[in-house]
Structure 1
Amino acid sequence: MKYVIIIPDGCADEPLESLGGKTPLQAANVPTMDAIATAGCVGVTDNTPIDFPAGSEVANMCLLGYDPNEFFTGRAPIEAAATGIQLGPHDCAIRCNLVTVEDQIMVDFTASHISTEDATALLEELNTKLLGGDHPAIAPDLAARLKFVPGVSYRNLLIYRGDTEHPSPFTPSTRTSAPHDLTDLSVTDDFPRGPGSDVLVALMNASAEIMAKHPINAARSAAGKKVATNVWLWGSGGAPGLPTFNERYGLQGVMITAVDLLRGLAAIAGWDRIEVEGATGYLDTNYAGKGAAAVEALEKYDIVCVHIEAPDEASHEGRADAKVEALGQIDEHIVAPLWNAVRDRDDARILILPDHPTFCRTKKHTHGPVPLVMAGHGVKADDAKAYDETTAVASGLTFDPGWTMMDRFLKGND
């Protein structure tokens, strides 16, 4: 069997007045997704257990069939795996956003989608001036165990290297807030709390002093761009211990994404990764390139998974029109070529679903079910003729908890 999984991140939404009472998925031109619904079945799955944050880290783990109660340790360790960073038993990874905070309001959790080049330069400055050993905000012995690691754009990491005598000060009880859930809101009550929070808050505050004087921010301000005011630290955790997908299901997969979180999940699950030129993790991503790479990968892999961040980014910006446009691009350039490649085969199956809902109204991830559609060999068709939230709920097919859905997809429902 060949399996295709397409993840339009955060595409599930609520009816919006600006779209005439439709959700973005209902308003978008997605004829191929609707054709797949007609050929197969639709339903809902809940990938965001109420005891966990409604984030992509938990939701995508659930989507791929892993119970977060058993395997989730934090977001940052997953992203660390994407860059090949090995975490020891006393180490910790912390997600590090470059953000724009003005008057204690989270104006932009991406610092205006700061370039990787600018982000890298700012983090190198922090490594030198903040963690170099003589900054008053942090003790030299602790600073020596910490390092900022550049990633892509605003998505970066802070790594703590510990040992038996110096275990990580950050524990599962360390509470942090995802900056993308604070857009346009006050951050006053959302600084880290609990074990190790004094270290994180000190680093965040000290970063603001150093970055305010950096030439890159001066240049950004002169160019009319938002400056990166400081780092925002969150999502800490130690190394996860997931069994590989091959160990669980006897299948070898590949991930196509522009986001380190999904790259990291793929690495931990033992999947290969395909990097597509022009894939940005944003609205301007190379949709056609991703679709073409996925079709080609079908010849080599049992499972081909394509993740597209664009709908989620549009929601975080509150842009329903951009979300509708992104869904149309996904349908035309990714879903259509993959459906054409598998629909007439008697050994192939396709699945489309987002990880979690992201509402344009609130600009946040949220808990709750998301619509799914699956079709292909071994999938019995239902009466659905469209792929959207309303049709999926009405179908009566529900996976709760969400990590049970993958077994059903791989086995079929005939």
Structure 2
Amino acid sequence: MKYVIIIPDGCADEPLESLGDKTPLQAAKLPTMDAIAAAGCVGVTDNTPVDFPAGSEVANMCLLGYDPNEFFTGRAPIEAAATGIQLGPHDCAIRCNLVTIEDQIMIDFTASHISTEDATAMLTDLNAKLLGGDHPAIDADVASRLEFVPGVSYRNLLIYRGDADHPSPFTPSTRTSAPHDLTDLSVADDFPRGPGSDILTALMSASVEILAEHPINVARAAAGKKTATNVWLWGSGGAPGLPTFNERYGLQGVMITAVDLLRGLAALAGWDRLEVEGATGYLDTNYAGKGKAAVEAIEKYDIVCVHIEAPDEASHEGRADAKVEALEQIDQHIVAPLWDVIRERSDAKILILPDHPTFCRTKKHTHGPVPLVMAGSGVKADAATTYDESAAVASGLIFDPGWTMMEQFLKGNG
């Protein structure tokens, strides 16, 4: 069997007045996804357990069949795995966004989608001046155990290297807030709390003065552009231990994504990763390139998974029109060529679903069920003819809890 999984991140939404009281999935022209619904079945699954934040880290872990109660340790450790960073038993990874905060309001959690080159230069300065320069804001011994690690654009890491005598000061009780859930809101009450929070808050505060003087920010300010005002630290955790897909199902997969979180989950699951030129993790990503790479990967791998961040980014910006456009691009350039391959085979199945809902109205992730559609070998067709939230709820097919869905997709009849 061959399995294709497509994840249009955050595409589930609510009816929007700007779209004629339709959801983006309902407003978008999605002929291939609707054809898959007509050939197979739709349903709902909930990847955001109420005891966890409604974030992509938990949601994608659930989507891939891992119970977060057993395996989730934090978002940053997953992203660390994407870059090959090995965490020891006393180490910790913390997610580090470069953000724009003005008058205590989270103006932009991406610092205007800062380039990787600019982000790297800024974090290099923070390593030198804040962690390596005997800065008064942080204890020298603690600073010597910390390092900012550049990632892609605004998505970066802070790594703590501990030992038996100096274990990580950050524990599962350390509470932080995801910056993408604070867009246009005050951050005054959302700084870290609990064990190690004094260190994180000190770093966040001390970064303001250093970054304000950085040449890149000086140039951006002179040009009237948003600046990266400071780092925002969140999503801390120690090393997770996930059994691989080969161990669980005897299957080898590959991930196609531009986001370190999904790269990290793939690494932990024992999957290969394919990098596509022009894949940005944003609305301007190379949709056709991702579709082409996925089609070419089917013969080599048992599972081909394509993740597209664009719908989620559109939601975080409150742009329903951009979300509709992203979904139409996904349908045309990714879903369509893969569906053509699935239809030609008698030993293949396809599954499409987002990780979590992301509402354009609130610009943030939310808990709740998401619609899925699957078709192909062994999948019994239902009465649905469209892929959207209403059709999925009406079908009566429910996967609860959400992490049980993947095993049923891989082993069951839909």
TM range (shorter): over 0.9
CA distance in 2, matches of 1:224, 1:266: 39
Deviation for aligned residue 1:400: 1.5
Match of 2:54 in 1: 54
Matches within 5 A, 1:214-225: 214-225=214-225
* Deviations 1:154-207 (CA, angstroms, capped at 9, x unpaired): 000000000000000000000000000000000000000000000000000000
* Deviations 1:39-95 (CA, angstroms, capped at 9, x unpaired): 000000000000000000000000000000000000000000000000000000000
Match of 2:272 in 1: 272
CA distance in 1, matches of 2:142, 2:270: 33
Deviation for aligned residue 1:343: 1.3
Check the 8 A contact 1:133/1:144 in 2, yes or no.
Answer: no
Matches within 5 A, 1:11-50: 11-50=11-50
Specify the code of the residue in structure 2 equivalent to 1:174: T
Check the 8 A contact 1:133/1:139 in 2, yes or no.
Answer: no
* Deviations 1:365-395 (CA, angstroms, capped at 9, x unpaired): 0000000000000000000000000000000
Deviation for aligned residue 1:133: 4.2
Matches within 5 A, 1:105-124: 105-124=105-124
The secondary structure found in structure 2 opposite 1:130 is: helix
CA distance in 2, matches of 1:412, 1:18: 40
Matches within 5 A, 1:89-100: 89-100=89-100
CA distance in 2, matches of 1:377, 1:222: 59
Match of 2:351 in 1: 351
CA distance in 1, matches of 2:357, 2:238: 27
* Deviations 1:330-349 (CA, angstroms, capped at 9, x unpaired): 00000000000111311000
Match of 1:183 in 2: 183
The secondary structure found in structure 1 opposite 2:100 is: strand
Match of 2:208 in 1: 208
CA distance in 2, matches of 1:44, 1:24: 17
Deviation for aligned residue 1:220: 1.1
CA distance in 2, matches of 1:242, 1:48: 19
CA distance in 1, matches of 2:148, 2:46: 34
CA distance in 2, matches of 1:199, 1:77: 18
Specify the code of the residue in structure 1 equivalent to 2:168: S
Specify the code of the residue in structure 1 equivalent to 2:353: L
**1:412 has 2:380 as partner:** no
Deviation for aligned residue 1:408: 1.2
Specify the code of the residue in structure 1 equivalent to 2:314: A
The secondary structure found in structure 1 opposite 2:35 is: helix
CA distance in 2, matches of 1:284, 1:28: 18
Match of 2:308 in 1: 308
Specify the code of the residue in structure 1 equivalent to 2:263: R
Match of 2:193 in 1: 193
CA distance in 2, matches of 1:248, 1:107: 43
Matches within 5 A, 1:53-92: 53-92=53-92
Deviation for aligned residue 1:413: 2.1
Give every structure 1 segment of 4 or more consecutive aligned residues whose post-TM-superposition deviation is greater than 4 Å: none
Check the 8 A contact 1:148/1:157 in 2, yes or no.
Answer: yes
Identity %: 88
Match of 1:394 in 2: 394
Deviation for aligned residue 1:412: 3.3
Match of 1:9 in 2: 9
Specify the code of the residue in structure 2 equivalent to 1:229: T
Specify the code of the residue in structure 2 equivalent to 1:377: S
CA distance in 2, matches of 1:22, 1:367: 20
Match of 2:326 in 1: 326
**1:141 has 2:145 as partner:** no
The Cα RMSD (Å) is 0.6
The secondary structure found in structure 1 opposite 2:21 is: coil
Deviation for aligned residue 1:223: 2.3
* Deviations 1:7-39 (CA, angstroms, capped at 9, x unpaired): 000000000000000000000010000000000
**1:337 has 2:337 as partner:** yes
**1:235 has 2:218 as partner:** no
Specify the code of the residue in structure 2 equivalent to 1:31: P
Match of 2:160 in 1: 160
**5+ residue gaps, structure 2:** none
CA distance in 2, matches of 1:241, 1:180: 27
CA distance in 1, matches of 2:197, 2:358: 28
TM-score normalised by L of structure 1: 0.99
The secondary structure found in structure 1 opposite 2:373 is: strand
Deviation for aligned residue 1:411: 1.9
TM-score normalised by L of structure 2: 0.99
Match of 1:282 in 2: 282
CA distance in 1, matches of 2:391, 2:413: 19
